[in-house]
């Protein structure tokens, strides 16, 4: 290779490096630990939300990943006065014990983001006695509506094909664990102990002991000592 050609290549590489160094980092390139994606990563929108403690989070990366077992439902401060779902879920906390905020999380997604500001949700969370691990979430109206449809809108059979999607976000709660790909649903106003028991069914199994095969994680039935391990 001639000296002039080598000089051109070196100069070109330097110019590219300088261009990359000067380019602002995109949100996806920020220093965030790389995680393996769950099997539903293409389905769940990774939209930006704001918690009642005024922290910005990504729905998929921050709230679903990391082996968390989650319970998600929709609410609004105004509607809960007439249909007190959060009052029922506040009773679930006592059955979760110290698993709440460590391996289990409750997410209350406001469907009235214009009124339910982080400050309004913070005051509401205090009235509900929300412990760490129970987050009240708001965001852009379009993002909230997208999550609502993805999580709760259901299509059903119809005599002329597929019935239009029904919104069951007020009375239903989704629960699951993205790391093992298990998801289910339950009435949001069901017996609080029963809801906690449902959450325990989707916990990942303990790491296998040497010489023993535990197989893939799967939904399991109730155990008399649920959440006491």
For residue 204, pLDDT over 70 is answered with: no
User: Average pLDDT of 188-208?
Assistant: 82
Top pLDDT among 26 and 217 is at: 217
Between 11 and 92, the higher pLDDT residue:
92
125-151: average pLDDT? 96
CB 222 within 8 A of CB 213: no
Buried b (16+ CB within 10 A) or exposed e, 86-100: bebbbebbebbeebb
Q: What's CA 26's distance to the chain center, in Å? A: 23
163-175 mean pLDDT = 70
pTM of the model: 0.73
Q: Does residue 118 contact residue 53 with C-beta atoms inside 8 Å?
A: yes
Q: How far apart are CA 195 and CA 72, in angstroms?
A: 12
Residue 38 has what pLDDT? 80
Query: How far apart, in whole angstroms, are the C-alpha atoms of residue 144 and residue 60?
Result: 13
Of the pLDDT bands very low, low, confident and very high (cuts 50, 70, 90), residue 203 is low
Triad 145, 147, 63: Cα angle to 5°:
140
Residue 43 structure tokens: 């389905």
pLDDT surpassing 90 at residue 146: yes
Q: Indicate the pLDDT class of residue 126, thresholds 50, 70 and 90.
A: very high
pLDDT of residue 167: 59
Predicted local confidence at residue 17, as pLDDT:
35
Domain limits, the chain: 44-156+164-200
Over residues 74-100, mean pLDDT: 93
Task: Say which CATH class 44-156+164-200 falls into.
Answer: alpha beta
């Amino acid at each position: 290779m001639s000296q002039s050609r080598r000089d051109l290549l070196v100069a070109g590489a330097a110019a590219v490096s300088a261009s990359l160094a000067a380019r602002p980092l995109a949100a996806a390139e920020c220093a965030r630990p790389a995680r393996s994606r769950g099997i539903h990563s293409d389905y769940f929108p990774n939209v930006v939300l704001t918690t009642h403690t005024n922290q910005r989070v990504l729905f998929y990366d921050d709230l679903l990943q990391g082996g968390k077992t989650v319970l998600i439902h929709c609410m609004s401060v105004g509607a809960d006065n007439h249909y007190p779902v959060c009052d029922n879920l506040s009773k679930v906390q006592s059955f979760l014990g110290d698993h709440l905020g460590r391996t289990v999380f409750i997410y209350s997604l406001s469907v009235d983001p214009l009124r339910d500001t982080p400050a309004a949700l913070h005051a509401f969370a205090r009235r509900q006695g929300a412990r760490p691990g129970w987050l009240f979430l708001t965001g852009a109206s379009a993002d909230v509506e997208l999550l609502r449809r993805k999580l709760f809108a259901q299509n059903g059979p119809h005599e002329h094909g597929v019935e239009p999607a029904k919104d069951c976000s007020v009375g239903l709660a989704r629960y699951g664990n993205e790391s093992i790909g298990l998801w289910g649903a339950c009435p949001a106003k069901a017996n609080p102990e029963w809801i906690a028991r449902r959450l325990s069914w989707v916990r990942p199994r303990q790491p296998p002991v040497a010489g023993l095969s535990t197989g893939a994680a799967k939904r399991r039935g109730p155990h008399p000592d649920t959440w006491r391990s």
